[in-house]
Chain A
Amino acid sequence: MSFAETILDYAVNIALVILSISFILTIIRIVRGPTLPDRILGLDMLVAAAIGFIAVIGIKTGYILYIDIAIALGLVGFLATVAFARFVLSRGKTEDELLREAKTAAEAARKKSRDEEKRVAKALKREKRLSR
């Protein structure tokens, strides 16, 4: 093994470590959110990091075929991001709006169930009085 190949070997291992760290950081962003577009952006970045991973593994193992896999993954990642962007557009609401809607719906449901309880209690009372 020549000197240059030793250096390449070290470089590939260091790159794998760096890419793993970048993977983890991106996943932290995906988990943390806070909004849907943030998560989509994280997924997009994850695809870019995965392409890098595949290329580095291709160098490490010497299988040149990995380059086709990387290009195909790039294609799929682009289409996925476009589809997600359409999804954001067609959902048409931000998280805050969804939260507010959920809150008002929950409030209405609670009020309704309280009314229902009151009505049932009244009916029960009347039943008792009649049976006596």
Chain B
Amino acid sequence: MIDDFITLLSAAFVLIGAFFALVASIGLLRLPDLYSRMHAASKAGTMGSGLMLIALAVHAADSGVFARALAGVVFFLLTAPISAHLLAKAAYAVGYRLGPSAVRDEMAGQDTENPR
């Protein structure tokens, strides 16, 4: 009974994770400008891969594997915003501007650190 429950749980995690990965890539394709696309990749993408890792750990039902999967998920949650932030900062510093649909840009002409 408990085994069946664990199997169903990991099946659900796999499906939800795959769904979020799909959403992230559709967002990458449909959203209008670079900075909006980053939203899709950094949130839905992380969520998708993290959920699928957890599904593998749940399926394995082994405490060592579970600890490693948890460490991996925490690692992804820490690094995904950092890489998105670095890329956005670099792109903005170099001069890639917001898309035509942008309504405001309070950063224009502001004094920001620019380590080149």
Assuming the A-B contacts A51-B53, A89-B90, are A11 and B14 also in contact, with contact meaning beta carbons closer than 8 angstroms in the complex? yes
Chain B residues, CB < 8 A from A15: 14-15, 17-18, 52
**Stretch touching chain B among A32-40, A101-109, A114-122:** A32-40
Interface residues of A in 16-53 (CB under 8 A from B): 18-19, 21-23, 25-26, 28-29, 35, 37-38, 40-42, 44-45, 48-49, 51-52
Q: Is A4's CB under 8 angstroms from B8's CB?
A: yes
Question: What mask results when residues 86 to 112 of chain B are scored 1 for a CB within 8 Å of chain A, else 0?
Answer: 110111011110000000000000000
A7 within 8 A of B: yes
Chain A residues close to B by CB (< 8 Å): 2-5, 7-8, 10-12, 14-15, 18-19, 21-23, 25-26, 28-29, 35, 37-38, 40-42, 44-45, 48-49, 51-52, 55-56, 58-59, 64, 66-68, 70-71, 74-75, 78, 81-82, 84-86, 88-94, 97
B contact residues vs A (CB 8 Å cutoff): 3-5, 7-8, 10-12, 14-15, 17-19, 21-22, 24-26, 28-29, 34, 37-38, 41, 45-46, 48-49, 52-53, 55-57, 59-60, 62, 65, 68-69, 71-72, 75-76, 79, 82-83, 86-87, 89-91, 93-96, 115-116
